[in-house]
């Protein structure tokens, strides 16, 4: 198991010492996380290393998982989509069943703790079954600023029963009758997705993916959805291709939603007519493959037009890559304009900035180095751990 001390070689100077001092104030307190699953992105990806690190610091850290039937999961998926502004049908029967499933979860799970952090939607209504005197906080990992009226009218009374709520950005929050805090997400620099890889490892992994390394590589990692705008990335690549012999790799996952299926079909058609467009459908746990792709890339693109606080830009910058991204979600917080990369509004803007970087190799190196230091200061798990312990001290003192 990776210990907190292992992060001294990657975290900013003094960061681990601050964590150890904070831990002295909360040693022995029970800090419980509750989420809808142990795998995938979002809450699960950060809790996998974070909970053991809390335990390593002497905190009684635990992680409980809610269960449910297919109807429960279908409703929570639709509810989350509706809370991010996508139209979804939410019937009274489905919502009642969701609440009932969490009543059952409330009886099965050990929810006694000094601080309970409830992540996202699946366990959100567990607040009705809180035991004891512990403080309860709802941790929202997505942009809830423009929810559908029906979804927010259902969820808001539950959220207002919490002692506080935590959002990734101030602009992601809604008006609530409880205190709100802001904690940005983070990357784990020692995980398979972000740890150092040798050039030989990178070459071996890319060979296995069928990606040659014979020309500059443009890369976007993300779901094949309209919100990530992979079709716009292809259009930008075509503008760049008129001047530079580059290859584009789009790596990510699809889903069964109609828009995602249509987007993936359009991308496959583009790849069929151009051998320098590579579409890689990867499983959710393809962490080493993503790591190798980002390390092999010349420039990373993250042209999202609708997003939460995805960390693809921070992951790429940690590997020393400049990022050309959109303005959606948390991208403007990660990309420091003209220092670690560029934020752009259009396909033409993305192509212009990519060409500018390709024309100035020394700028690619300089931005890459600046990006790594920006991530070291602001987006490593050590900063996240500090924020969570400060929250624990503040709410349980």
pLDDT in tens, 290-323: 999 999 999 999 998 777 778 899 999 999 999 9
Answer whether 211's CB lies under 8 Å from 249's CB: yes
Residue 63: predicted pLDDT = 96
Nearest to 85 by CA among 149, 165, 175, 170: 149
The neighbour count for residue 310, using CB atoms within 10 Å, is 23
Output the six-digit token pair for 185: 């997400």
Residue 353: predicted pLDDT = 97
Give the separation between CA 361 and CA 248, rounded to whole angstroms: 18
Which run of H or of E encompasses 249?
strand 247-252
Give the separation between CA 320 and CA 334, rounded to whole angstroms: 13
Residue 181: beta bridge partners?
166
Which run of H or of E encompasses 310?
none
Output the six-digit token pair for 139: 């941790």
Residue 225: predicted pLDDT = 86
Residue 254: predicted pLDDT = 63
Residue 178: predicted pLDDT = 96
Residue 41: predicted pLDDT = 72
Residue 279: predicted pLDDT = 94
Tokens 């699809």, residue located:
254
Of the chain, the end-to-end C-alpha distance in Å amounts to 30
Answer whether 290's CB lies under 8 Å from 282's CB: yes
Residues 362-384 have pLDDT tens digits of 999 999 999 999 999 999 999 99
Residue 33: predicted pLDDT = 96
For the chain, list the domains and their CATH numbers: 4-186+380-396 (3.40.50.2000), 199-378 (3.40.50.2000)
Give the separation between CA 354 and CA 241, rounded to whole angstroms: 10
The low-confidence residues of the chain, meaning pLDDT below 70, are 254-257
Give the separation between CA 236 and CA 351, rounded to whole angstroms: 5
Give the separation between CA 324 and CA 342, rounded to whole angstroms: 5
């Amino acid at each position: 198991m990776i210990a907190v001390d292992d992060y001294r070689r990657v975290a900013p100077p003094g960061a681990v010492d601050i964590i150890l001092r904070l831990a002295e104030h909360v040693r022995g307190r029970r800090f419980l996380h509750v989420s809808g699953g142990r795998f995938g992105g979002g809450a699960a990806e950060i809790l996998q290393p974070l909970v053991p690190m809390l335990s390593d610091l002497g905190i009684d850290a635990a992680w409980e998982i809610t269960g449910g039937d297919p109807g429960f999961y279908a409703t929570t998926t639709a509810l989350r989509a509706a809370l991010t502004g996508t139209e979804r049908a939410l019937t009274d029967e489905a919502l009642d069943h969701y609440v009932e499933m969490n009543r059952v979860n409330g009886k099965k799970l050990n929810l006694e703790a000094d601080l309970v952090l409830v992540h996202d939607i699946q366990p959100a209504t567990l607040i009705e079954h809180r035991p004891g005197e512990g403080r309860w906080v709802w941790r929202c990992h997505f942009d809830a600023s423009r929810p559908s009226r029906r979804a927010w009218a259902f969820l808001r009374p539950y959220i207002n029963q919490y002692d506080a709520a935590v959002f990734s950005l101030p602009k992601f929050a809604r008006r609530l009758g409880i205190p709100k805090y802001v904690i940005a997400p983070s990357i784990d620099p020692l995980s398979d997705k972000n740890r150092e890889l040798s050039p030989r490892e990178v070459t071996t992994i890319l060979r296995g993916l069928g990606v040659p390394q014979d020309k500059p590589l443009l890369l976007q990692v993300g779901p094949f959805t309209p919100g990530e705008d992979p079709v716009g990335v292809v259009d930008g690549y075509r503008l760049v291709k008129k001047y530079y012999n580059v290859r584009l790799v789009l790596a990510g996952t699809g889903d069964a939603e109609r828009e995602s299926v249509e987007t993936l079909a359009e991308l496959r058609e583009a790849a069929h007519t151009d051998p320098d467009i590579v579409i890689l459908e990867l499983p959710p746990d393809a962490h080493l493959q993503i790591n190798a792709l980002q390390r092999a890339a010349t420039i990373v693109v993250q042209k999202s037009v609708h997003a939460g606080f995805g960390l693809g830009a921070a992951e790429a910058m940690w590997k020393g890559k400049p990022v050309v991204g959109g303005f959606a979600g948390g991208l403007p917080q990660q990309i420091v304009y003209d220092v670690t990369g560029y934020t752009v509004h259009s396909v033409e803007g993305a192509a212009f900035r990519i060409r500018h970087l390709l024309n100035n190799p020394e700028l690619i190196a300089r931005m890459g180095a600046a990006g790594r230091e920006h991530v070291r200061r602001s987006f490593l798990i050590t900063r996240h751990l500090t924020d969570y312990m400060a929250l624990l001290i503040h709410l349980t003192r």
